[in-house]
Amino acid sequence: MQHNVFILIGFIEIALSIFMQWQNYVSNNIKTFSIQSWILGIFLMYFGVLNNNISIIILSILTILTRAIFIPRYLINTINKQIFRARENKHKVSVSLSILISVLLAIFSYILYTLVFFEFGKSLISIPITLMLQGAFLIMSRSNAYAQLIGYLVMENSMFLLSFLFNGLPFIVEAGIILDILGIVMIGGILMKIRDEDIQKEEELYG
């Protein structure tokens, strides 16, 4: 049963991150990320209740509070102050190509599983790996700072799914990770307010 729920959750997350590739509007991306985190948090809570594990329940509440509520709200607030960044006009990679690439990443990670991870058991490992690669691809294929930050957060979400397949990290480490992500998002938000995107050819950053 848990197996099936995991597959369901994993593929919904993958489909949502493909949806992110499709979007031009950053606020839609942020909302999609929020939905992803909600699903993840609810799944975690379900798992915790099922196994009567208090620390996982606390973790799920923390996840929902930070990733699903606070971070999206914070990002949307920053984006409302500079509305001209809300839409990314020029994609480095065209949208249909990036959608196809992110699907091919899913297949690639399945192949990766058959080559590298098969001795660690479950074929489900390829789901979090897919999400992680898709997050990394989102970072690489966009020049908008918000989209890049969302890509990083997707990678972190996939980390949660992955830790569910393995033993899971100790509670104190997970709590520390959440704190760190909050820090990254806050600092990233401060930087993004002023950062200009068309600075690729600056001489001082060359070589």
Partner 1 sequence: MIYTLPALFATIGSILCFIGFRKKERTVSVFTSLLSLISSIFILFSKNYSSSYFYVDNLSKIFSLMIAIVYFGVVIFSIEYISNIKERFIKVYQYFMLLNIFVAAMFFSVILNNLGLIWVGIEATTFSSALLVAVENDFTALEAAWRYIIIVSVGLVISLIATLFLYSACDTLSIFKLLTIKPTGSLFLLGAILLIIGYGTKAGIFPMNTWLADAHGKSPAPVSAIFSAVLLPVSLYPIIRLFQINHNILLSEFAFILGFLSVATASIMSLNQTLYKRLFAYSSIENMGLALIGISLGSYALFGAIVLIFAHAFAKSGIFMLTGNILHNYKSKKIEDINGIIKTMPHTGLFLFFGSLAVTGAPPSAIFFGEFLILSKTIDLYGWLIGSILISFVGCGFLFINYKVINMVFSGQRKKAIKESNFTLVPIINITLSILTFISLPFLYRFLQGVIK
Partner 2 sequence: MLFYLSIAQLLYVIILSPLAIGILNFFNERLSSRGGPSIFQEYYNLFKYFKKQSIYPESSSIFFAYVPYMSFAMYLFLTLVLPIITAFPLTFGPVVDFVGGGLVFGAASTLIKLSALDSRNNYSILGASRSSSIGIFTEPVILLIFIMLGVISGTNNPYVINNIMQTSTSWYYSLVHLFIALAFLFVLIIEIGQLPIESNSLNELGSIDTLLIHEYSGRELALLKWGSYIKQFILMNVFLNVYTWPFFVPMKLSLISIFFYMFINFFKIIILLIIFAFINSMVSKYRLFKIFDYIAIAFSFTLLAMLVFYITTSGG
Footprint of partner 1 (CB under 8 A):
116, 119-120, 132, 136, 139, 145, 148-149, 152, 155-156, 159, 162-163, 166-167, 169-170, 172-173, 176-177, 179-180, 183-184, 186-188, 190-192, 194-196, 199, 202, 204-205, 207
Backbone phi, then psi, for 43, in 5-degree steps?
A: -60, -45
**Alpha carbons 80 and 5: distance in angstroms, whole number:** 36
Toward partner 1, which CB reaches closer, 18 or 162? 162
Give the DSSP per-residue string, 108-152. Answer: HHHHHIIIIIGGGS-GGGHHHHHHHHHHHHHHHH---HHHHHHHH
- Selection from partner 2, partner 1, none that 93 binds (CB < 5 to 8 A by kind) is none
100: contact with partner 2 by CB under 8 A:
yes
Residue whose token pair is 């996840």: 63
Which residues is 87 bridged to in the sheet?
25
Written as six digits, the tokens of 10 are 């994993």
Written as six digits, the tokens of 128 are 């979090």
Toward partner 1, which CB reaches closer, 54 or 190? 190
**Alpha carbons 115 and 13: distance in angstroms, whole number:** 24
* Interactions with partner 2, residue window 109-138 (CB under 8 A): 110, 122-124, 126-127
Toward partner 2, which CB reaches closer, 132 or 185? 132
Residue whose token pair is 């070589």: 207
102: contact with partner 2 by CB under 8 A:
yes
Site for partner 2, rule CB under 8 A = 3, 7-8, 11, 14-15, 18, 22, 95-97, 99-100, 102-103, 106-107, 110, 122-124, 126-127
